[in-house]
Amino acid sequence: MISAADAAVPTAFLRVEKRGRAGRILLDRPRALHALDEGMVLGLHRALEEWRHDPAVDHVVFASSTPGRAFCAGGDIRAGRELALAGRPDLVERYFEREYALNAVVASYPKPTVALVDGVCMGGGVGLALHCRHRLATPASVIAMPETAIGFFPDVGATFLFRHLPPGLAAWLALTGGRLDGQAAAALGLIDAAVSPDRLAAIDTALDGPGAVAADLLPGGDAARRPVLTPGQERLAAWFDPKHGLDGILRRLEADGGEEARRQLALLRSMSPFSLRVVVEQFRRAAGLSLADCLALDLHLARRLTARPDFVEGVRAVLVDKDRQPRWRPARLEDVSDDEVAAVFAGLED
């Protein structure tokens, strides 16, 4: 539950309304591609709590004000960087605690939740959309978790969301920030279906009606459905199989020597070396955990990694100066010690 003080926080970047039988939340921060600031997180949570027992609301729909461009590009990590630089780790932690609490609420919400994704959906956007009961995207949408590029890690319960995938493909998505279009995400079972923009708009309108979800307007997620991989994805899954360890993944890419293997190797080498080591251990520890425990692990890691220099530097290089030239510390995978990685997980039960 959110506190009375949280409930009073104004939200400038959400449009919240009841339309017909639907509770509808439109993300409306276009200049930041609808990245979730703390007010948006609280506003989303507040609306869901208000509608939880409202008999006038049958289901909840999430969309954005710029279809075709972005659903949600992630969390407000620029603000997180500024707080870290200001010496306010307590406020950084508070943001992630609230964001992960929202993920848990969406995933367990008693009424049908519908994500209509049309455009970029990354990081915090993945946490909002993929925890919904019904998830649709346009074929040209882009779904990814690119956190290792900013010295962070795939959070928002990604270890839970990716667990039905072949381990190597999950590792590829997590380590490289690999991008999936709507068709690929549907084939892998990360969303329910890829539909045209016109069809998505028609579904959005139809959702105003009573019983729209129950009337099979939307396909439901099938947890038992096996992901369908393309030959290229099968190759990625073999290269990135985590049973070989990160060093083994690098050796397999180097041994292949082909153009795509070289591209993936260069991509890995551009990411935060420390984050890459942490992510391998994160996914190992998260195997078999409940969503609540995966989010608890995420919060622990968020505390630790936002306090490290790679987070501040990675956000600078990608979002502030945009020079794409991060100065990682350590600079090479070979220089990340096992003891340093173990220290990040200290205090957690294995």
Instruction: Tell me which of 38, 155, 241, 310 is the catalytic residue.
Output: 155
- Determine whether 75 is an active site residue: yes
Least confident span in 225-234, 268-277, 281-290, 302-311? 225-234
Residues ≥6 apart with Cβ < 8 Å to 154: 145, 147, 148, 162, 173, 174, 279, 282
Distance (Å, rounded) from C-alpha 112 to C-alpha 57?
10
pLDDT at 81: 96
Asked if 133 and 219 touch (Cβ cutoff 8 Å), the reply is no
Instruction: Tell me which of 80, 123, 124, 127 is the catalytic residue.
Output: 124
Asked if 134 and 218 touch (Cβ cutoff 8 Å), the reply is yes
Enumerate the domain spans of the chain. Answer: 4-144+190-217
The DSSP string of 107-131 is HH-SS-EEEEE-SEEETHHHHHHTT
Going by pLDDT thresholds of 50, 70 and 90, the confidence category of residue 222 is low
Instruction: Tell me which of 23, 43, 74, 75 is the catalytic residue.
Output: 75
Q: How confident is the prediction for the chain on average, in pLDDT? A: 93
Reply yes or no on whether the pLDDT at 9 is more than 60: no
Domain covering 4-144+190-217 assigned CATH 3.90.226.10 in the classification: yes
Distance (Å, rounded) from C-alpha 322 to C-alpha 346?
33
pLDDT tens readout for residues 74-119: 999 999 999 999 999 999 999 999 999 999 999 999 999 999 999 9
Asked if 144 and 180 touch (Cβ cutoff 8 Å), the reply is yes
Asked if 146 and 134 touch (Cβ cutoff 8 Å), the reply is no
- Determine whether 124 is an active site residue: yes
Going by pLDDT thresholds of 50, 70 and 90, the confidence category of residue 243 is very high
Distance (Å, rounded) from C-alpha 155 to C-alpha 140?
24
Distance (Å, rounded) from C-alpha 164 to C-alpha 197?
27
What are the distances in angstroms from CA 50 to CA 43, 44, 46, 115? 11, 10, 6, 19
pTM: 0.94
Mean per-residue pLDDT for 246-264? 96
pLDDT tens readout for residues 292-301: 999 999 999 9
